[in-house]
A and B are shown apart, each in its own frame.
Chain A
Amino acid sequence: SQTIHQWPATLVQPVGSPLSLECTVEGTSNPNLYWYRQAAGRGLQLLFYSVGIGQISSEVPQNLSASRPQDRQFILSSKKLLLSDSGFYLCAWAGGLSNQPQHFGDGTRLSIL
């Protein structure tokens, strides 16, 4: 069966520090991969999605970036964090066919001080 792993589960970072969140998927090949952010008490905001290695689409211009160095690895990064980057970050994967459900990781709670 397929599984998705995100780490770390929680992270506290100072303003201006760099960020790297990692997401890996097991048990499937060529998944579509997604990064979302969820602010407290709010819905999900799609940040990036990827349909293949090295292919990244950005939904919201900001100081975050994403990379997909391997088929089942998706990384969210920032060179310099802002206070507004605080939130709950969720990674998800889906099969490549149309109308497929997405499957989510357990999320990373990021707090910026």
Chain B
Amino acid sequence: GDSVTQMEGPVTLSEEAFLTINCTYTATGYPSLFWYVQYPGEGLQLLLKATKADDKGSNKGFEATYRKETTSFHLEKGSVQVSDSAVYFCALSETSGSRLTFGEGTQLTVNP
């Protein structure tokens, strides 16, 4: 079945550092890919998405490119802020319906 593998955390960075959180997937069809963010004590918020190969999703300075050849969807940000501290989840959708398969999440802590 479909699966998502995320870079293990926790990740600790200093403010203004470059961020990469790796995400790779396995899927039988042509899924859409998503990144969600969860701030402490809250639900998940959709951060960005990409629906087909070579699409780039972007939001709030974060970017991720759908790479079919490497089955990857790595999350990047050029300069992180303390307010970016959260858990980040990579997810894919099945090609039929809207069920999501989530990775295990990566805890990011940004220090001032």
Contacts and interface: CB of A to CB of B under 8 A. Distances in A.
Given A90-B44, A105-B43, A107-B43, A100 B104 contact: no
Given A43-B89, A43-B104, A104 B98 contact: no
A51 interface: yes
Contact of A101 (B46, B95, B96, B103): B46
A94 B59 CA distance: 20
Given A100-B93, A101-B34, A95 B45 contact: no
A14 to B, nearest CB: 23
A42 B104 contact: yes
B60 to A, nearest CB: 16
A32 B98 contact: yes
A53 interface: no
Contact of B42 (A94, A96, A107): A107
A51 B42 contact: no
A99 B89 contact: no
Given A46-B99, A101-B46, A101-B93, 5 more contacts: A43-B89, A90-B43, A101-B32, A105-B43, A106-B42
Interface of A: 6, 32, 34, 42-44, 46, 49, 51, 90, 92, 94-107, 109
